[in-house]
Structure 1
Amino acid sequence: MMQTYQARIYVTLRPSVLDPAGTAVESGLRHLGYDNVAHVRIGKYVELTLTAASEAIAREQLDRVCDQLLANPVIENYRFELTELAEASA
């Protein structure tokens, strides 16, 4: 029986990669008087639902989706949270 899952995917730049967008936001915050903010990094957040025969298969598919499309593995890291939603009809 197929299960339905919701995935929350977080894609961030690797720590060794410069983040010009994060630097710009940090500068803007300091300009606005938020001197207590530091180390701003900008990333991506993606939500999707998928059906799979098991959680293990869903995780394997999500790894491929992230590696092939959502993240650039050369400069980005990703992680995801997977939640079972409900049983789908066969």
Structure 2
Amino acid sequence: VDQVRRTVNPALDIQGIVLTMFDSRNNLAQQVVSDVREHLGSKVYQTLIPRNVRVSEAPSYGKPAILYDLKCAGSQAYLQLASEVIQRERHSRAA
């Protein structure tokens, strides 16, 4: 990020960090989420994108996950993330 700021875009800012391929059954995944949130705080979005076969299959069919299978957990998580991004953007513009 710093290199891009210096060379290309001085106004570049990171709005948030998305945690993907999350597997709630895995203790290490739980620990990673905890550690990342502890170190990066509010930059980390609350929405976790789960590891999901349907999301992985979507590119093979030339489709975004939400068009391939809207009801799968991965697609639903991405929709939730989109809402969270919009809320954060509205909040930052109001400040």
Higher-Rg member (1/2): 1
Q: Which structure is higher in strand share?
A: 1
After TM superposition, is the score higher than 0.5?
A: no
TM norm structure 1: 0.29
